[in-house]
Amino acid sequence: MADVLLSALLPVVMEKATDRLLPQFGVIWGMEEKLEKLERTLSVIQSILGDAENRQVKDPAVKRWLAALKDAAYEADDILDEFNVEAMRRKTQIQIDMSKKVRSFFSLHNPVWFRFKMGQKLKEIVQKIDEIAAERIRFGFTVTTQPQNRDRPQTHSYVDESNVIGREVDKEKIVKLLLDHDRNQNVAVLPIVAMGGVGKTTLAKLVYKDERVERHFQPLIWICASDEFDIAKLAKAIIASATGTECQESQMELLQRRLREVVSGKRYLLVLDDVWNEDQAKWDELKTLLGTGGEGSRIIVTARSEKVSSIMGTLPTCRLSCLTEDDSWTLFRKRAFEKGADVPPNLEKIGKEIVKKCGGLPLAVKALGSLMHSKSQEKEWLSVRDSEIWDMQVGEDGILPALRLSYGHLPSHLKQCFAFCAIFPKDYEMEKDLLIQLWMANGFIPSGGRKELEDKGHEIFNELASRSFFQDIKEVEGHAGFDGFFVRSSKVYYITTCKMHDLTHDLAKSITGNECLNIVEPAMLEDVSRKTRHLGTSGHLTLNIHRTFNTSPNIRTLLSSSTTRSNRTIVTADSSKPRSLRALALDDYKIRRLPISIGFLKHLRYLDLSCTGVEALPDATTTLLNLQTLKLSHCWKLCKLPEDMRNMSSLRHLYIDGCDSLKHLPAGMGQLSSLRTLTKYIVGNDAGRRISELNGLDLGGFLELYNLRNVRDAADAKHANLSSKHNLRSLILCWDMIAWNDSCYRSNAPNVCKDVLHVGNAEEVLEALGPHDGLKLLAIWRYGGDRFPTWMMDSLLLQNLIEIHLGACAGCDHLPPLWQLPVLKFLYLIKMGSVRHLCSSTIYGNASNGTLQAFPSLKRLVLHTMQSLKEWSEDEKTVEVMLVFPHLAELKIINCPNLMTIPKLPSLKSLSMKGTNKQLGLVHSLTALSSLEIEVDKTSNGTESPPLAQEKKMFFRDFRSLENLTITASEDLAPLLEEEEMEGLSSSLHHLEVGRCNWLFSSSQQASSPLGFWKNLTSLQSLESIIVMI
């Protein structure tokens, strides 16, 4: 049965009961007494929750009492939320259904009816909570000010090495660090960090008992630090372990003196196992007492938290990984079968499948191995394999208790945030920002104080990550150019993602039970009940959301996002009546309108309709005064937003990027003072739509600015205040455009191919739009000036840029010194018709030994339709210096007919080139390529280019690493494909694609016919061909 976690919910309800907007209405409506009584009752309950939540594990009656109380608290939360919505509505003086001249008496927005109806609901819920609270007397709960820590098993230094598998390499690495005297540290600290159950303590024991360690260190001291980092207790324990005699001292002065005597001048090894302390001051106090040790003394610290490691460690942290499948099976087999016994083949197969479920965690492997030792029947093994891990009989040292122990140490709001992650399927890559927005929507993040909710959410995420509840944390670079020539990513900003280990996910599921579900198949829909509060769907599933809401009206979160294209949601008439919905995601579904009446979404904080066919939102959307996050990204049919959006005072995140049919935004967006994300802004000419609307908004993430032609002058541009928006990571600046998408990168794109009009104020406007120095992505399109601004010449300002797009800036013939940028990885230069070279002559000042490194971190470079481009660096033909792009791995040269040279590219693996026959000479030296794409066109006068000079010709026989080859050309390339030329590709080429190459399939028996090359391609795995009928 799932845990009942109430300690995180009660503070939310209490805060709403004391909201500054409510007391005035409480006096007016005569409800002040009820609100005060509710607050008093909840305060009393809060004082005993620590004891109650601990006791529920062994007392089913306590668990039932907590469950009833939690249901009532949720109900109170909804009622108080309605009061807050009404208070906000009256404060902002929004009138609902203004087209109706006579308001229905029975509308909740009639003050008399609202007072009667909601007053009655408040009275009933206060009475219900009071009655439930009164039952606490029979349980005799203890009043606690802090959640009680559960007893933790004490560790010791003994280990049976024969039962330890897969830790030899880790052990040797640590022993070497301990014995190393080259480090200038008297007492050094080595942390071992990993999630619970991976084997930190076991590894520390192996090192502690190693013969070399025992000879090198004296004394050897083992202490289990556990939760309570009490200096006096630790000092006594260290003295007792070092001397073998119990320390009788109790006064701290005598203790510290005795401790310093015990370790003074001695080269000791101290293991502080299972440290949870994150108080720097406490560690500093103990470290001072231990600092009298002899040279070469070492301290090993095992912990689950990276923060502990950062506070205490002085040597490199050992981050312990999980066991391999082979090592896990070896460990499992030792537990499940008698020594030397033959393993039945059928049980071995099932056993290895069970081991996979353990995810390489030794504690899980040992617990399940011990469980299977008493089972000999195949059906018993199958039953265990097909069961959820928390349904098994897990021993006292099993993985579930170990993870629960780590979970139990969390503050209540972190527990709730962690447990909520059960709404996602296993192995799901969760986005950090999405998690934070959903936590906000459900009230999991404590409010109050000066910090923004998002900042607190980042702290919660980082805390859970440091305690190993999240893993595989990475920053994803969502760069814009992907497959083929150009395919724009749906994410053009930089996002942090993470995953949960399967067993950690199992822990979250075991805590929440049916309250938080992820449904992956139809049979699981039976688990959805009135107790379900958070529901996610994924996999091959058809979900009828109206039936779901009508059978489970208490759902607060519904994430019906499509993880596969076969996952569908049925939406019918507006018949569903969700009472408590806080978060709704229906992204990537074929719906044309919001399928739920706005009247039932008054509690909504999060709404995601991205990638749907929605054409417009109802005007009543602006009455969703609680809405914090609205996601409409890539709603390609969306043509308008509600005009009164400026009244949505709680809105913090608005995603409208990729809404290419959206021509203008509502007036007064600058009045949304809470807005932190606005992904697209179209500058207008009329009041309320000018660029000055951005002035007071503290925007972050990414921002696309369109129709910059409408900016009047530099003073107008400065009102955008971009330089003060320090949380912006991606900035797209576009003139004469309302959409930046993949069509911008096509040769025939109408919005790019038309002439770029010179704009007299363009240069001063772009100069005034200078950003801060934290940008990671910058794009400038259809800029009508003749030179780039001075801030683009400042390498320090642009030092964090990872990606740059410059497109259709027809008047600019010189680029900024982009070659200096230290972390630039992706550079796209599109239709820059006047640019003659990439690097100015100033680059030669950095030459050394005849070579010159440019773009030190660049991985991908795209040069597209640049007719004037002749050189990589200015005056390169007169300077005897070899230009080197050290890390460039992918290069695309498309329609740059005058570029006839290539720099040194030692790391290049992929080349796409569309040009003339004459440019094939650019390829001849790039023989280390693994992927090559060539398209040869006619020259400008309609004839083929002149043949290559013999020394510049390319020969496929030299490309012995080539795995992927694409050729689009006429018979002119036939000599490259002759039998002897293709011999070098016989063992490497896996994929071949040809286009406009009808001659390849000709029955001609001429000597130049290339049909013979086929027999050499012995490693070919796929062949695609496009034959043009003539």
Q: How far is CA 938 from CA 84, 843, 933, 996, in A?
A: 70, 35, 17, 13
What's the pLDDT score for residue 184? 59
Beta bridge partners of 965: 932, 992
CB 785 within 8 A of CB 805: no
**Mean pLDDT computed over 630-655:** 94
pLDDT for 418 equals: 94
Beta-bridged to residue 1023, according to DSSP, are 992
Q: What is the mean pLDDT of residues 943-953?
A: 47
User: How far is Cα of residue 635 from the mean position of the Cα atoms in its chain?
Assistant: 23
Torsion 348-350-356-357 (CA) sign: negative
pLDDT at 780: 96
Please state the rounded mean pLDDT for residues 5-22.
78
Reply yes or no on whether the pLDDT at 933 is more than 60: yes
- pLDDT confidence bin for 605, thresholds 50/70/90: very high
pLDDT at 678: 96
State the Cα–Cα distance between residues 843 and 902, nearest whole angstrom: 17
Per-residue confidence (pLDDT) for residue 616, from 0 to 100: 93
Mean pLDDT, to the nearest integer, of 645-668?
A: 94
Residue 945 pLDDT: 47
The stretch 924-938 carries a mean pLDDT of 84
Is pLDDT larger for residue 102 or for residue 982?
Answer: 982
Q: Helix or strand or coil: residue 223?
A: strand
- Render 204-216 in DSSP notation, one character per residue: HHHHHT-HHHHHH
Report the candidate in 877, 887, 778, 777 with the shortest Cα–Cα distance to residue 837.
877
Determine the average pLDDT of the residues in 624-646.
Answer: 94
Asked if 622 and 648 touch (Cβ cutoff 8 Å), the reply is yes
Query: What is the mean predicted confidence (pLDDT) over 708-712?
Result: 94
Q: What is the 3-state secondary structure (H, E, C) of 680-742?
A: EEECCCCCCCCHHHHCCCCCEEEEEEECHHHCCCHHHHHCCCHHHCCEEEEEEEECCCCCCCH
Q: What is the CA radius of gyration of the chain?
A: 34
What span, in angstroms and rounded, lies between the C-alpha atoms of 640 and 618?
10
Specify the pLDDT at position 802: 93
Q: What is the pLDDT of residue 27?
A: 45
- pLDDT of 442-482, one tens digit each? 999 988 778 899 999 999 999 888 777 887 788 876 544 43
pLDDT score of 183 more than 50: yes
Average pLDDT over residues 577-593: 87
What is the average pLDDT score of the chain?
Answer: 81
- What pLDDT was estimated at residue 51? 85
Per-residue confidence (pLDDT) for residue 876, from 0 to 100: 75
| pLDDT of residue 941 exceeding 70 | no
Tokens at 829, concatenated: 């230069």
pLDDT at 378 over 80: yes
Q: What is the mean pLDDT of residues 819-828?
A: 94
Residue type, 672: L
CA 466 → CA 276, 278, 309, 453, 768, distances in Å? 11, 11, 10, 20, 41
- pLDDT at position 155: 56
- Position 713 pLDDT exceeds 90: yes
Q: Among 163-167, 476-480, 610-614, 788-792, which stretch is predicted with the lowest mean pLDDT? A: 476-480
Least confident of 264-268, 323-327, 375-379, 661-665: 375-379
**Is residue 800 scored above 90 in pLDDT?**
yes
pLDDT of residue 619: 92
Sign of CA dihedral 66, 70, 76, 81: positive
Q: Are 642 and 622 in contact (CB under 8 A)?
A: yes
State the pTM of this model.
Answer: 0.77
Return the pLDDT at 973. Answer: 64
Asked if residue 584 has pLDDT above 90, the reply is: yes
Q: Using alpha carbons only, what angle is made at residue 632 by residues 627 and 637, rounded to the nearest 5 degrees?
A: 135
Residue type, 315: L
Interacting residues of 27 by C-beta distance below 8 A, sequence separation 6+: none
- Residue 29: which pLDDT band, with cuts at 50, 70 and 90? low
Instruction: Answer whether residue 877 shows pLDDT above 80.
Output: no
Model confidence band, residue 165 (pLDDT cutoffs 50, 70, 90) = confident
Q: What is the pLDDT of residues 750-796, one digit of tens each?
A: 444 466 666 779 999 999 999 999 999 999 999 999 999 999 999 89
CA of 970: how far to CAs of 101, 486, 579, 817, in Å? 74, 24, 66, 39
Predicted local distance difference test score (pLDDT) of residue 951: 41
Give the whole-angstrom CA distance, residue 49 versus residue 150. Answer: 14
Judge contact between 436 and 417, C-beta under 8 A: no
Which residue, among 746, 670, 750, 664, has the nearest Cα to 707 in the 3D structure?
664
* pLDDT at 665 > cutoff 90: yes
- Please tell me the predicted confidence (pLDDT) of residue 480: 43
Element (H, E) at 419: helix 412-420
* Mean pLDDT on 799-808: 94
Q: 398 versus 412: which is more confidently predicted?
A: 412
Q: What percent of the chain has pLDDT over 70?
A: 80
Closest Cα partner for 621 from 639, 603, 644, 640?
644
Q: Work out the widest C-alpha separation in the chain, in whole angstroms.
A: 103
| Backbone CA torsion sign across 957, 958, 960, 965 | negative
Residue 418, sorted as left (phi over 0), alpha (psi -120 to 50) or beta, turns out to be: alpha
Tell me which of 953 and 243 has the higher pLDDT.
243
- Average pLDDT (898-924) is 89
pLDDT reading at 1011 higher than 70: no
Supply the pLDDT for residue 857: 95
Q: Mean pLDDT lowest for which of 157-161, 511-515, 825-829?
A: 157-161
Tell me, what's the pLDDT at 820? 92
Q: What is the pLDDT of residue 395?
A: 45
pLDDT tens, 113-128?
677 777 788 889 889 9
When pLDDT is cut at 50, 70 and 90, the band that residue 1002 belongs to is low
pLDDT at 1026: 61
Between 860 and 140, residue with greater pLDDT? 860
DSSP state of 640: B
Q: Indicate whether 540 pLDDT > 70.
A: no
Residue 405 has pLDDT above 80, yes or no: no
Per-residue pLDDT at 550: 80
